[in-house]
Amino acid sequence: MTDACIFCKIIAGDIPATKIYEDNDVIVFNDIKPMAKTHFLIVPKEHIESLKSCEDAHQALLGKMLLLAPKLAAEQGLKGFKTLINTGREGGQEVFHIHVHVFGGGEPNS
């Protein structure tokens, strides 16, 4: 838990989010500014800044996050989807708590 981190605050229940999945390791919620009809974020409960901060010990957690993508996408009715992990400011990362974006279903307002 990092006080300044918005995703840690969501994990702690201090700010609301539309949760679609949660277990001991991971929380998944809809992106607040969706870039597709379905756009959710797979977020580990451990505060890890980015893919650059990951270590061998995170291998199982990263695998779990990726394997959740098709399961949750199917639950959301997606037949296919895109995944994205922005890494570092130069990589487009804005929230420095690692997360996997999952997008599908076409443009948000089409």
Our finding on whether 83 is near ligand AMP (CB under 6 A) is no
Of 56 and 109, CB closest to ligand AMP: 109
Between the alpha carbon of residue 19 and those of residues 15, 16, 42, 44, the distances in Å are 12, 9, 10, 13
Pattern 18-57, Zn ion, x by CB under 5 A? -----------------------------x----------
Our finding on whether 94 is near ligand AMP (CB under 6 A) is yes
3-state secondary structure of 56: helix
Pattern 23-62, ligand AMP, x by CB under 6 A? ------x-xxx-----------------------------
d(CA 19, CA 11): 10
- Length reported for the chain: 110
